[in-house]
Structure 1
């Protein structure tokens, strides 16, 4: 069976709050993956999570921030800026924060498509979460 064509413009409205507390706007989805626009407000820090079954690739479109990733004993912190792409392989623990003066915005492609909120598993935070 052939998949239908999809065309979707970026909405100003938030479609969902991700398990890490970032703002999600749905884009398109095909059998092998899904794409969303993610935004983190100025001064915000996400919750640290890992995924059960999916890998992600990110492309930063606006703002500044930092991303912490860890796999076993290996970890790094990456400075996020427009034009940067990166991967979140399956099983990677990660957390990100907005260090700039504008919302941190990026496109996420999830493979296979995002299955739902139970996909994310909370892990210890790298950066403290302010309440």
Structure 2
């Protein structure tokens, strides 16, 4: 495991990932962050986006809804509000959420919380991307 880095992705409900990986790419609030084994210590905020990591040449994807990332001692810990592996995503549910968000944004009546609708749309698009449907 000398050329690997430990990755843990944790939400309030469960541990989504707990494995040794070749590298990690995370959606930082200021852009993507690439992390290789023996990376310098780091703490940063994460945006809605796809966390990608590679194990034995295979790339895995996890849809994140924001959170925090810490790198310390050849270990990456992601504390996420919500996280789903690409293969776990209910594509139909994500598509319905996307349509609802688009409808809200199209109406833009005074009772619509535009920011909330935009965030819902970003989360739905992110989930569809992680599932390989976009």
Assess same fold via TM > 0.5: no
Tell which has more relative contact order, 1 or 2 (C-alpha 8 A, sep 6+): 1
TM-score calculated relative to the size of structure 1: 0.28
TM-score calculated relative to the size of structure 2: 0.28
Considering fraction of residues, name the structure with more helix.
2
Considering fraction of residues, name the structure with more strand.
1
